[in-house]
Structure 1
Amino acid sequence: MCRVVDVRQAVLAKNDSLAATLREELAARGTRVVNLLSSPGSGKTALLERTLAEAMSRGLPVAALTADLATENDALRLARSGAPVKQVLTGGLCHLEADQMRVHLEDWLPSGTRALFVENVGNLVCPASYDLGETLRVTLMSVTEGEDKPLKYPTAFGLANLVVLTKMDLTEAAGFDEDEFTANVERVNPGVPVLRTCAPTGRGVAAVVDHVLAMCDGAPPHQPLLAGQHLRDHAHEHGPAHTHVHQQDHLTVR
């Protein structure tokens, strides 16, 4: 008699256990994690650079861990904010996992950091299924990506505590329908806050920092309906299980 084992569920269950432990450990140190998810080209790095700079100007101790398949470009850009930054090169892995987080935070995360921003790999499928020990999960998309994006990626948007719309300066040129977008977000994640931003002008950056500050001060983030279900229940979006080789290459910028 053959027994079918769902490898994806086993992998995600192990990840969730590690993430829960990491969340508790970081909380004990006074650190909250903000996990940023988006497609490539959404303007995530540009917005994060402005957000880090705004947080630093307010005296909020922040740091950033940024993941990419290759290059250290994002870390160099984010370091211009003055915040401590570490680049993780995933070597082809399409998302971060909790065990990677633990390895890269060891002996690096500055003492007293209240908010750690994690810029996940640009991808709205794989990263959506992996808890990184975050307190706040933020899903971003630009107005150039289309109003139906939340419906196409229901897990990424359905598990978000906050949705951020970027590149608002291109709304008219892209023919973006904000009302339709808002309705689609509401369908997959009723009541989730939606912020509208534009990194070049700074629009909405203060609101993003306000949200993070409230979380650091103990305000409970929006709880999506999907949060009551285990992330592995949505692993079908991830596709077949893969065996990954994790590279530990990184660049630290202070």
Structure 2
Amino acid sequence: MCDSVDEVTQAVLAKNDGLAAGLRDELSRRGVVVVNLLSSPGSGKTELLGRVLARAVERGVPVAALTADLATENDADRLARSGAPVKQLLTDGLCHLEARQLRRHVESWLPGDTSLLFVENVGNLVCPASYDLGESLRIVLMAVTEGEDKPLKYPTAFGSAHLVVLTKTDLAGPACFDEAAFAAHVRRVNPGVEILHSCARTGDGVDTLLQRVLAVRDGAAVHRPPLAPRPHSHSHSHTHAGSHSHEGAGSGLAAGRVS
């Protein structure tokens, strides 16, 4: 039974990888950089993205955003205040986005002049880490209130990141956050990755984050993470209503990169 589940899982992920590769090539020809944002719920991802979108609009950057949730359009309403084109993507219970979903919205909605597309993935550091969306840049965000050992708990997410963003840094003191330990844990699973600090409340880090993304759009080299966009073998499986069975991040991680 386990072997048959694993075979189905691998087939699903292989199909997703093929779609993602094709989408990445297509968007590259169109001059579109896709930024995949991964984090746990409550990391401050939406608020920070709203600030980045607003700054991009101020600078005249052709930017758009897709935001994914299981239910409600609350985040799309919040992000739309930036003035950028925003689309809500409801997953109907699926805990992650897949390349087929992104392709559908790119084909039916994405404004033709877009050069930056931010994708706010479902709040979850397990399932989204296993699916390549065809992104040019994968950014993993974590709030200081989540604990400095989180990179060790979610090595696939942090190990596949091109960039790591630490959020809510104004709360580092009250949270007794150990920044040195956090940095050491990040670099244990992803040596050499840059860690940015941000605070959406004060605007700290907003300009730096936008600059990093614009640099990639303009041809800057991207950090090569040690892990592939998804693990190629897994240790256990779980089923999502209305979708397929797939497996969580396990011990078997293949070397590779997203881009």
User: Is 2:93–2:240's contact at 8 Å kept on the other side of the alignment?
Assistant: no
Structure-2 change in CA distance of 1:77 and 1:236 (3 Å): farther
User: Is 2:94–2:240's contact at 8 Å kept on the other side of the alignment?
Assistant: no
3-state DSSP of counterpart to 2:89: strand
Give the TM-score normalised by the residue count of structure 1. Answer: 0.91
Distance in 2 (CA, whole Å) between partners of 1:241 and 1:11 is: 13
Structure 1 segments of 4+ aligned residues over 6 angstroms from their partners: none
Q: 1:242: how far off?
A: 4.9
User: Is 1:61–1:114's contact at 8 Å kept on the other side of the alignment?
Assistant: yes
Equivalent residue for 2:28? 27
Equivalent residue for 1:244? 242
Structure-2 change in CA distance of 1:234 and 1:55 (3 Å): farther
Distance in 2 (CA, whole Å) between partners of 1:188 and 1:123 is: 18
Sequence identity percentage: 67
3-state DSSP of counterpart to 1:36: strand
Equivalent residue for 1:71? 72
**Number of residue-to-residue matches in the alignment:** 241
Distance in 2 (CA, whole Å) between partners of 1:113 and 1:85 is: 12
The equivalences for 1:175-254 within 5 A come to 175-227=176-228, 231-233=230-232, 235-236=234-235, 239-240=237-238, 242=240, 244-245=242-243
Which structure features the higher share of helix residues? 1
Distance in 1 (CA, whole Å) between partners of 2:231 and 2:149 is: 24
Structure 1 gaps of 5+ residues are: 247-254
Distance in 1 (CA, whole Å) between partners of 2:210 and 2:234 is: 31
User: Is 2:68–2:121's contact at 8 Å kept on the other side of the alignment?
Assistant: yes
Equivalent residue for 1:59? 60
Distance in 1 (CA, whole Å) between partners of 2:168 and 2:140 is: 14
The CA RMSD over aligned residues, in Å, is: 1.6
Q: 1:244: how far off?
A: 3.4
1:76-113 deviation per Cα after TM superposition (whole angstroms, max 9, x unaligned)? 00000000000011111000000011112222101111
Equivalent residue for 2:154? 153
Q: 1:234: how far off?
A: 5.2
3-state DSSP of counterpart to 1:222: coil
3-state DSSP of counterpart to 2:64: strand
| Amino acid of the structure 2 residue aligned with 1:103 | R
Structure-2 change in CA distance of 1:59 and 1:236 (3 Å): farther
Equivalent residue for 2:169? 168
User: Is 1:39–1:141's contact at 8 Å kept on the other side of the alignment?
Assistant: yes
Give the TM-score normalised by the residue count of structure 2. Answer: 0.89
Higher mean alpha-carbon deviation, 131-140 vs 4-13, is at 4-13
User: Is 1:138–1:163's contact at 8 Å kept on the other side of the alignment?
Assistant: yes
Structure-2 change in CA distance of 1:158 and 1:234 (3 Å): farther
Q: 1:55: how far off?
A: 1.1
Higher RCO, Cα 8 Å, sep 6+: 1
Structure 2 gaps of 5+ residues are: 245-259
Q: 1:240: how far off?
A: 3.6
User: Is 1:12–1:232's contact at 8 Å kept on the other side of the alignment?
Assistant: no
